[in-house]
A and B are shown apart, each in its own frame.
Chain A
């Protein structure tokens, strides 16, 4: 039974709020730990005390980000247990292993080596300290790996079998779960985007020092490291983004169609470079989906299927079906899904009656139909469509911003190498104002991944309406606003403490 829309909406909104706030802190940690490790490596190699000062300064800002972001993710675990208990039970067996490894790894690696990294400058040898710094970087990134394996599984559930007795998805192959192509591409794309954000962070703050004509040597050295790291990470991010899109095309075609506002599928489908969606557009009508747009022909076919002539299904094809391209409609999937739910119900009934023959027959039907089980809970075909405008604009903001970051890294590195960066005030100003854009791009990435896969909590198997707990919506509403206040306060604290430390500068550390 689907729970009340208000409850589902507030549960979703609360999870989105928590995840989006959590995601303000995480990517900076993922990238800044590596930048710091590189800086400290230069210090250990050159024994130049300036590099030690540079390392310690950025480490201080990392500490602020880490302290304020710490445990914001745990809230999501609370939400799983209370608001999403159906979902938690159903995925428990799959999520248990990766999340347990993540918890242990985060606790042991990060807490141990973080302490040595922050407190151990005078207590351990330079090499031991450097090793700890690198281990903090690797450890925090490995923590992200396990979370993203769990997330990748929701987007493309593999390596499991639904057990109709326990009502849980049980793991059949750990290797399939951890090497899930969706999870691997998601992990690589996510961490590389974190590296890009951290590079922007260092460049932006350093550029501010250069504009203020203070801490010049510190800022120039920091910029060279960050721009080099950012440039390599940006290229890596583009490659992993391409693989991510390929995986979306293969496993979540509706998300890809929403990302591009593509209603009528086509061969040599283009990518919309920029465009404004037509808000009146409905599924199956003849209205142009865009008020205006400019597209790059064939690019979407290439991005999605690595073939410029490939057919990319649109929203109409996926909802209404397309016989020519062997795409079955959502209506047909709903029939299969309903059959699957009925078979599960029959299995339960015959089990109670000890009717083994009928039970096995019901199980056979269930196994043959369960790949579309989730469609059995949809009320109408249109429910299979995510929010197109939000997905489309988020995707395009993310891609445009990501492209700009690459250009910025090239320009900053080029003028740094020519020793002309301090003269290029326009570039320094652009570098400063790009930092918020880095955060916007991060959040947009999350929106594309999560809003784009709606209505699914587990792709094709469990819609969000079935994943929520059967609880009253009032407490979810109260905690939504409580979190909104708490997280906003934390964000204000982060920005205030950070700004204070930036204005004190490296000399004050």
Chain B
């Protein structure tokens, strides 16, 4: 496997005396879309803040593209695009003007501004002041700003919160395209469905600790109950464990005689999985 693009090693971060991230070890590779999943206060945003150089870890290390974040911050800044959880635009300027200012800072050519606005489907609203934008439009403008300089890494904090289905689909498509072109994406989210749809790997965090790290499929396989709920024509309800040979035969018998009214497999339940992994509810 290639050298990791992002590496967190035994990283601990505090807010005053509150331990926000506890000995986090994580490696993200090129062409990977990585989801950081967890409830509020799990340490997801703090992890991102450490990676963008906004919060200094008390111990351990955080490196991006081989550079120490704290030491070489200025050097790594052009490598990433960041979409914060809270929008931060110049409300009095148009969407186009907002991007032009950042295009100037990144020294990217002006035509790229319109290109980015078209990617996030904001070209029609390019000359409307941002104060007239909806929440979803503002979020998409953040995304346009983050991709302005074609960064190899993107950090996104709750990128699809408050977005409608269509806008979420745009974001997902854009992120998948980015990793397809060799980029790396780290996104934080509450939404397991989103993680399953687009992420290559997922880390589950709780109270600053990493409690699970795998692909969404593996997590599903590991934590989905192999049980089938069956309702017979006689209205009798059965729960059959597929790991039990007797149950498997019983199911086969019912199917053979045709007295099954309906049957369905137990789906992966993230909340119960989270409870099982951490001992706490996912709020």
Q: Do A and B come from one complex?
A: no
Q: Which residues of A are at the interface with B, using a C-beta cutoff of 8 A? A: none
